Amino acid sequence: MNINPISPVSAQRTINQASGINQADYKQFSDKLKNAMNNFTENLESANDSLNKTIVGDSEHYLDFLIQTEKNAMNLQVTLQVRNKVVDAYNEIMRMQL
């Protein structure tokens, strides 16, 4: 009688299959988060640039600075709240009894 070796079961894959999430989705989400962070940095730099130019004499962009600054504050809050939710979700999963 043949005894087949038991194939190692990946807990991750089981959870994935059970909850319907797959690797591709993970990557998409983490990429989105990375993009959001990059965008945020660029927006910060853009706001700074507008203000710098206003201070040293070219005052056309002061409105850009004001609008971008408010957007940045809002973006940061949203990003951080998303991060908090992700952390909360992770914690909840870890708490689950397997």
Residues that bind other proteins (CB under 8 A): 41, 44-46, 48-49, 51-57, 59, 62, 65-66, 69, 72-73, 76-77, 80-81, 83-84
Helix, strand counts (H, E) of the chain: 3, 0
- In the complex with other proteins, the residue whose CB is nearer, 16 or 61, is 61
CA separation for the pair 41, 4 (Å, rounded)? 54
**Nearest approach, Cβ of 84 to other proteins (angstroms)?**
7
CA separation for the pair 73, 85 (Å, rounded)? 19
CA separation for the pair 76, 73 (Å, rounded)? 5
- In the complex with other proteins, the residue whose CB is nearer, 15 or 80, is 80
**Nearest approach, Cβ of 26 to other proteins (angstroms)?**
23
- In the complex with other proteins, the residue whose CB is nearer, 56 or 96, is 56
- In the complex with other proteins, the residue whose CB is nearer, 33 or 53, is 53
- What single string gives the DSSP state of each residue in 62-98? HHHHHHHHHHHHHHHHHHHHHHHHHHHHHHHHHHS--
**Nearest approach, Cβ of 11 to other proteins (angstroms)?**
30
